[in-house]
Amino acid sequence: MKTYKFDPLKELNIDIPKSNRKEALEAAATYLKEAVLDYIGEGKSPVSGFGKFPGYTKEYKSEKGASSSSSAVNLELSGEMLDALSVKVTGSKLELGVFGGDELLGKAEGNNLGTYGQPNPIPGKVRRFIPLDGENLKRDILRNMKTILEEYGED
């Protein structure tokens, strides 16, 4: 399961003094995690070009209903996968991903690529919550991130 790395200052074209940069990136990372979880909690993809997550099968819906009161396709059954979702600051980049053991990574990849243990994606079952190479986060997320980063723009 690949993580998504990007340089927010470069992509959003923001200049932040070196002395504020670390703090700014940490604030952006905190926001990004919240925003991604918020989108997922509503059953929506945080990735540009993807809308609502496709629905669960009848069988899975009934299994999920035993442990979750949410009717949204929120990628939360035991909650372990989303508990392991994190955003790390690595150098000048933010790294969004699921950080955990093979089982969690498998679950994350299954949802993100729509494979669910199969060699190829199952049509209509992609629940993209971490962008792949060449993809972007939703504009609304980037806009808010820009607002947050701009707060660190001056010494």
Enumerate binding residues for other proteins (CB under 8 A).
27, 30-31, 33-35, 37-38, 41-42, 65-70, 74, 76-79, 82-83, 144, 147-148
User: Could you write out the three-class secondary structure of 100-111?
Assistant: CCHHHHHHHHHH
What burial letters (b/e) apply to 53-88, b meaning 16+ CB within 10 Å?
beebeeeeeeebeeeeeeeebbbbbeeebbebbbbe
If the CB atoms of residues 2 and 64 are measured against other proteins, the closer one turns out to be 64
124 contact partners, CB below 8 Å, separation of at least 6: 54, 114
If the CB atoms of residues 80 and 121 are measured against other proteins, the closer one turns out to be 80
- Smallest gap from Cβ 75 to other proteins, in A, equals 11
120 contact partners, CB below 8 Å, separation of at least 6: none
If the CB atoms of residues 38 and 135 are measured against other proteins, the closer one turns out to be 38
- Smallest gap from Cβ 78 to other proteins, in A, equals 8
If the CB atoms of residues 17 and 65 are measured against other proteins, the closer one turns out to be 65
- Smallest gap from Cβ 44 to other proteins, in A, equals 11
